[in-house]
Amino acid sequence: MSNNTATPHGTAWRIRAIFAGSAGNLVEWYDWYVYAAFALYFAPVFFPEGNATVQLLNTAAVFAVGFLMRPAGGWLFGRIADRKGRKTAMTLSVLFMSFGSLLIALTPGHHRIGIWSPVCLLLARLLQGLSVGGEYGTSATYLSEVAAPGRRGFYSSFQYVTLISGQLIALGIQLLLQKVFLSPEQLQAWGWRIPFAIGALLALFTFYMRRNMQESIPLSKKQDTRGSLLYLLRHHPRAVITVVGLTLGGTLAFYTYTTYMQKFLVNTVHLSKEQSTFLVFWLMLIYALLQPLFGWLSDKVGRKPLLIGFGVLGTLFTVPLLTALSHASSELAAFFLILAALLIVSGYTSINAVVKAEMFPAEIRALGVGLPYALTVAIFGGTAEYIAFYCKNIGHESWYYWYITFCVACSLVVYVFIRDTGKHSYIDREMREEGPETKRENAATPDDQAFPAQTR
Of the chain, the percentage scoring pLDDT greater than 90 comes to: 23
Q: How many CB atoms sit inside 10 A of residue 345's CB?
A: 24
Q: What is the pLDDT of residue 97?
A: 83
Average pLDDT score over residue span 257-275: 86
Q: What is the pLDDT of residue 447?
A: 46
Average pLDDT score over residue span 217-243: 78
Q: How many CB atoms sit inside 10 A of residue 330's CB?
A: 10
**pLDDT reading at 244 higher than 90:** yes
CA distance 18 to 398: 41
pLDDT band at 422 (very low <50, low <70, confident <90, very high): low
Of the chain, the percentage scoring pLDDT greater than 70 comes to: 85
Q: Which of 223-227, 284-288, 428-432, 442-446 has the highest mean pLDDT?
A: 284-288
Among 26, 27, 24, 118, residue whose Cα is nearest residue 65: 118
CA distance 274 to 280: 10
- Specify the higher pLDDT residue, 226 or 241: 241
pLDDT band at 307 (very low <50, low <70, confident <90, very high): very high
Q: What is the pLDDT of residue 364?
A: 84
Instruction: Supply φ then ψ for residue 25, to 5 degrees.
Output: -60, -40
User: How do residues 122-159 score in pLDDT, each as one tens digit?
Assistant: 888 888 888 888 888 888 888 888 777 778 888 888 88
User: How do residues 45-59 score in pLDDT, each as one tens digit?
Assistant: 887 666 566 666 677
- DSSP conformation letters of 35-80: HHHHHHHHHHHHS-S--HHHHHHHHHHHHHHHHHTHHHHHHHHHHH
Q: What is the pLDDT of residue 381?
A: 81
- Specify the higher pLDDT residue, 16 or 235: 235
> Cα-Cα-Cα-Cα dihedral of 318, 321, 326, 330, to 10°?
-160
Among 122, 136, 127, 114, residue whose Cα is nearest residue 48: 114
The alpha-carbon radius of gyration of the chain (Å, integer) is 21
Q: What is the pLDDT of residue 343?
A: 96
pLDDT band at 455 (very low <50, low <70, confident <90, very high): very low
Instruction: Quickly name the fold that domain 11-217+224-435 has.
Output: Growth Hormone; Chain: A; (1.20.1250)
Arithmetic mean of pLDDT over the chain: 81
Amino acid code (one letter) for 59: T
3-class secondary-structure state, position 3: coil
Amino acid code (one letter) for 150: G
Enter the pTM of the model.
0.79
pLDDT band at 213 (very low <50, low <70, confident <90, very high): confident
Q: What is the pLDDT of residue 3?
A: 44
Domain boundary assignment for the chain: 11-217+224-435
- Specify the higher pLDDT residue, 9 or 98: 98
**pLDDT reading at 445 higher than 60:** no
**pLDDT reading at 413 higher than 90:** yes
pLDDT band at 434 (very low <50, low <70, confident <90, very high): very low
User: How do residues 95-123 score in pLDDT, each as one tens digit?
Assistant: 888 888 889 889 888 778 887 888 888 88
CA distance 82 to 219: 8
Q: What is the pLDDT of residue 436?
A: 44
CA distance 368 to 197: 33
Among 295, 309, 306, 274, residue whose Cα is nearest residue 183: 274
Q: What is the pLDDT of residue 433?
A: 61
User: Which of 284-293, 356-365, 423-432 is least confident?
Assistant: 423-432
**pLDDT reading at 344 higher than 50:** yes
- Specify the higher pLDDT residue, 266 or 184: 266
3-class secondary-structure state, position 227: coil
**Beta carbons of 330 and 275 less than 8 angstroms apart:** no
User: How do residues 164-212 score in pLDDT, each as one tens digit?
Assistant: 888 888 878 888 888 888 888 888 888 989 999 998 888 777 777 777 7
CA distance 185 to 4: 50
